[in-house]
Amino acid sequence: MKNKVEKFVFRDCVVLISPTGQRAQNLREFLNILQQSKEKVVFHHLYQSHLKYKAKIRDYPNDFANWAADALEDQALAEKLASFDPYDSPSVLDTKEMIVEIIEEHLWDLPTVPWVRPGFEFYFSSATTIILPTKIEAKTLSQFKKALKIIPDTSLYYHFYEARKRHKEKLHDDFSVWIETNFFPNGIVDKIREIDFYFFSLDEVRNKLIGILDDKNSRL
């Protein structure tokens, strides 16, 4: 442990969704609207999906892939839209361009433009996020582990998912950054960063984190 440990103050977030009023009834319309969509719209559908879905309710980790599967019933497109990690790129707009390319290529190979049944249109939205302090703090890894068990899902999302968009250069989560900064790295940091978080639900990520901190091989 380093001489002076900075305490970890858990924050929480609340998200209120704003529909843009735009809707797509087929893949061509979807592509056109996506191309014109602002960063905050893409961010919401790609990154904040984790706040909406429990693992058992949806197959894929973002809104676009779920729409392709459920509404267009195009599993191949859904798989393509789910199989990249949007956190790999520091720029949401770069990720948007990549998605546009995936859809353009997919459309190119289709004989007709696929339409959805009425009621299954894609509704584009963005969201406003309010970041709030909580009373939960940790100064030791032991306190940190206890806190992980009680923080809300929204707090976990804020520190473990959305944080990566704040730490633009490193794309790291808040937890591993705090452990790395305040304690001698002993494998915990690497293990946390190895979590394939984009494909997990918040519950699964929480259990993985607690599992890593519980691991007897990790020295606390």
Partner 1 sequence: MIKIADYKKIVGEDKIEQLRRLASLSRGKKVVMVNSTKDGGGVAEILTRLVPLMRELKIDCSWKTIKGDPTFFNITKSMHNAMQGKKISFSPEMLKYYREVARKNAEELDLGSADIVVIHDPQPLALIDFYKKNGAKWVWRCHIDTSKPDLSLWKHLKKYLLGYDASIYSIAKFSRLLAHPQYLIAPSIDPLSDKNRNLSQKEIGKVLSTFGIKKDKPIITQVSRFDRFKDPLGAIEAYRMVKKEMDVSLVLAGGTASDDPEGEEVLKKVREKAEGDPDIHILLLSPKSDIEINALQRASDVVLQKSIKEGFGLVVTEAMWKRKPVVGGAAGGITIQIQNHITGFLVYSPEGAAYRIRYLLNRQKIKDKIGEDAKEYVRENFLITRHLRDYLSLFCILENAKKNIIYV
Residue numbers of the site for partner 1 (CB under 8 A)? 12, 14, 16-23, 40, 54, 56-57, 119, 121, 123, 125-135, 150-152, 154-155
Instruction: Judge whether 169 and 211 are in contact, CB under 8 Å.
Output: no
Query: What distance in Å separates the CA atoms of residue 161 and residue 75, rounded to the nearest whole number?
Result: 26
Q: 155 vs 176, which CB is nearer to partner 1?
A: 155
Q: 148 vs 188, which CB is nearer to partner 1?
A: 148
Q: 10 vs 175, which CB is nearer to partner 1?
A: 10
Per DSSP bridges, beta strands 8-24 and 122-138 are antiparallel
Within 10 angstroms of residue 179's Cβ, the number of other Cβ atoms is 20
Cα–Cα–Cα angle for 155, 160, 161, rounded to 5 degrees: 100
Q: 53 vs 84, which CB is nearer to partner 1?
A: 53
Cα–Cα distances in angstroms (integers) from residue 13 to residues 159, 184, 193, 199, in the given order:
10, 29, 22, 21
Q: 163 vs 189, which CB is nearer to partner 1?
A: 163
Quote the strand ranges of the chain, DSSP E: 8-24, 122-138
Query: What distance in Å separates the CA atoms of residue 180 and residue 175, rounded to the nearest whole number?
Result: 9
